[in-house]
């Protein structure tokens, strides 16, 4: 991999400036010029080793100053997995024992619950597998707020770019798969045809919205970014 040509000491001085600014109450890392520095660091393994810890400190400090509440990872996983997956299982049981509209609505509830419930825990699980630590759950994103999982950016930087791409892709793939898993289980229920078709529609709609929006603003944008870093390496 080619070096960026940016002196390590020069980057250190810039990071020191940003860290001091965050400590003084400025938390907009974009305005502080943080992310272009991070992009340069990603491009050179020697810079990653020299600056990952400080980048992680800055990112964590700005995040903690800006976002509340932050829930421990174990609690977030328990609530989201227990709630989302548990609600989905109960809904499928209802769909298998009820009839008509109740069974149909229960099938849709299962699809929705699993779609929400698997996203962040899948990111967490894949992160653990590739070496990316996560530090907490929070509510964020465009309205309505939804659960997010905060990464430890020092471990994120030290993880190879292709693995970072898989980390971002994992939650999106799990979310897209969830309605189709429910669809595969629908023959075991009494859900009417309209509910089965609606569940299929939920799955297709998610794929379409990913193709239109997520490649520009969300997980798939980050996948493309990290794959581009990997190709340059």
- Residue 189 has what pLDDT? 96
- Residue 1 has what pLDDT? 41
Question: Tokens representing 132?
Answer: 């990316």
CA 205 remoteness from chain centre: 19
Shared-domain flag, residues 17 and 113: no
Angle between helical axes of 45-66 and 34-42 (0-180°, round to 10): 150
Give domain status of residue 111, yes or no: yes
Distance CA 146, CA 132 (A): 21
Which of 66, 90, 109 is the C-terminal boundary of a domain?
Answer: 66
Shared-domain flag, residues 58 and 109: no
- Residue 6 has what pLDDT? 46
Which of 66, 94, 112 is the C-terminal boundary of a domain?
Answer: 66
- Residue 91 has what pLDDT? 97
Alpha-carbon distances of 229 from 1, 27, 108, 126, 187, rounded to whole Å: 11, 26, 39, 20, 44
Shared-domain flag, residues 187 and 91: yes
Helix (H) or strand (E) holding 218: none
- Residue 143 has what pLDDT? 64
- Residue 4 has what pLDDT? 44
Shared-domain flag, residues 55 and 77: no
Shared-domain flag, residues 129 and 198: yes
Does residue 171 contact residue 117 with C-beta atoms inside 8 Å? no
Q: What is the DSSP string of 122-173?
A: HHHHHHHHHT--EEEEEEESSSSPEEEEEE-HHHHHHS-HHHHHHHHHHHHH
Does residue 6 contact residue 47 with C-beta atoms inside 8 Å? yes
Shared-domain flag, residues 97 and 115: yes
Distance CA 23, CA 29 (A): 12
Shared-domain flag, residues 44 and 80: no
Give the end-to-end CA distance of the chain in Å, rounded to a whole number: 5
pLDDT average per 10 residues of sequence, the chain (233 residues): 51 95 95 96 91 97 93 92 89 96 97 93 96 93 78 97 96 94 96 97 92 80 93 83
Structural domain containing residue 152: 73-232
Q: Which residues, other chains included, contact 84 with Cβ-Cβ below 8 Å and sequence gap of 6+?
A: 113, 114, 116, 117, 118
Question: Tokens representing 55?
Answer: 């980048």
Give domain status of residue 2, yes or no: no
Give domain status of residue 119, yes or no: yes
Shared-domain flag, residues 100 and 58: no
Which of 39, 66, 93 is the C-terminal boundary of a domain?
Answer: 66
Shared-domain flag, residues 105 and 139: yes
Shared-domain flag, residues 19 and 85: no
Nearest to 67 by CA among 142, 133, 121, 148: 148
Shared-domain flag, residues 134 and 213: yes
- pTM across the whole model: 0.87
Shared-domain flag, residues 81 and 169: yes
Give domain status of residue 228, yes or no: yes
- Residue 211 has what pLDDT? 84
Give domain status of residue 1, yes or no: no
Looking at the 3D structure of the chain, how many domains does it have? Answer: 2
Give domain status of residue 3, yes or no: no
């Amino acid at each position: 991999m080619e070096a960026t040509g940016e002196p390590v000491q020069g980057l250190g001085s810039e990071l020191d400036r940003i860290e001091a600014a965050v400590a003084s109450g400025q938390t907009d890392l974009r305005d502080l010029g943080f992310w272009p520095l991070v992009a340069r660091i990603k491009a050179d393994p020697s810079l990653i080793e020299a600056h990952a810890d400080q980048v992680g400190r800055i990112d964590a400090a700005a995040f903690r100053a800006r976002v509340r509440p932050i829930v421990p990872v174990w609690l977030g996983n328990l609530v989201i997995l227990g709630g989302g997956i548990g609600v989905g299982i109960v809904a499928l049981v209802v769909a298998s024992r009820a009839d008509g509209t109740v069974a149909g609505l229960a099938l849709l509830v299962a699809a929705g619950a699993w779609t929400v419930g698997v996203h962040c825990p899948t990111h967490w699980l894949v992160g653990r597998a590739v070496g990316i630590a996560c530090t907490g759950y929070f509510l964020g994103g465009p309205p309505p707020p939804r659960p997010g999982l905060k990464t430890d950016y020092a471990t994120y930087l030290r993880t190879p770019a292709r693995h970072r791409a898989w980390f971002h892709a994992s939650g999106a793939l799990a979310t897209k798969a969830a309605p189709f898993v429910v669809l595969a289980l629908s023959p075991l229920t009494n859900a009417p045809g309209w509910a089965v078709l609606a569940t299929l529609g939920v799955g297709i709609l998610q794929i379409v919205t990913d193709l239109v929006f997520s490649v520009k603003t969300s997980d798939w944008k980050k996948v493309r970014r990290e794959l581009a870093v990997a190709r340059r390496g």
